[in-house]
Chains A and B, each alone.
Chain A
Amino acid sequence: GAGVSQSPSNKVTEKGKDVELRCDPISGHTALYWYRQSLGQGLEFLIYFQGNSAPDKSGLPSDRFSAERTGGSVSTLTIQRTQQEDSAVYLCASSPPSGSVRGELFFGEGSRLTVL
């Protein structure tokens, strides 16, 4: 596809369950970002992958959150033992190599997570 693809678009889960969110970036984009956005709020940085460099995990809110990026392409964000405060839209974005300096992030449509 031409854009960033995220799945699932909607996920409803029960408190305590684990969830996985997937992101397929734009082909050729070396940088991949995960943000989350709670209702009416701005974007909260979670994690950033750039090529083969070690990811910047400084935004992950707790050790229940983890992410990996396989083969420099697809990324999976995993939330273990979900809590109600994890409910948000999880946005993935990708950019070309120097895109983060130019601010050229291309966002997917997001995965809306609801924890009951």
Chain B
Amino acid sequence: QKEVEQNSGPLSVPEGAIASLNCTYSDRGSQSFFWYRQYSGKSPELIMSIYSNGDKEDGRFTAQLNKASQYVSLLIRDSQPSDSATYLCAYSMDTGRRALTFGSGTRLQVQP
């Protein structure tokens, strides 16, 4: 079982819709969770972090974490064509490996 599971996509949504990206993880010791965005041919950049159960909103982005279900999601409201990218889920731990563990990403396509 992979440490972080993501649907590779592509997830296609029309402009203005809500895009929902999901991620499950296997390590119950995972403490902190992150969403990175990676445009084609570019390096990943951090867009959201979440540390406790519940929702965290930042502009058009909302991250949701459920540690009991080992599930983290990212909602993008009012999706724009510029949101088209691969979204990588990642986590870090307070003990053991401190480096982030990444999923393989979900490719999002926002259709104008």
Given contacts A35-B102, A45-B101, whether A107 and B92 have CB atoms under 8 Å apart is: no
Among B90, B92, B100, B105, the one with the most A-chain Cβ atoms within 10 Å of its Cβ is B100
B73 at the interface (CB under 8 A from A): no
Report how many residues on chain B are interfacial, defined by Cβ distance under 8 Å. 25
**Interface positions of B from 7 to 38, Cβ below 8 Å from A:** 31-34
Q: Which residue of A lies closest to B90 (CB)?
A: A103
B98 at the interface (CB under 8 A from A): yes
Q: Contact: A56 with B102, CB < 8 Å?
A: no
List the interface of chain B (C-beta within 8 A of A): 4, 6, 31-34, 42-46, 49, 88, 90, 92, 94, 97-105
List the interface of chain A (C-beta within 8 A of B): 31, 33, 35, 41-43, 45, 48, 50, 56, 58-59, 91, 100-105, 107-110
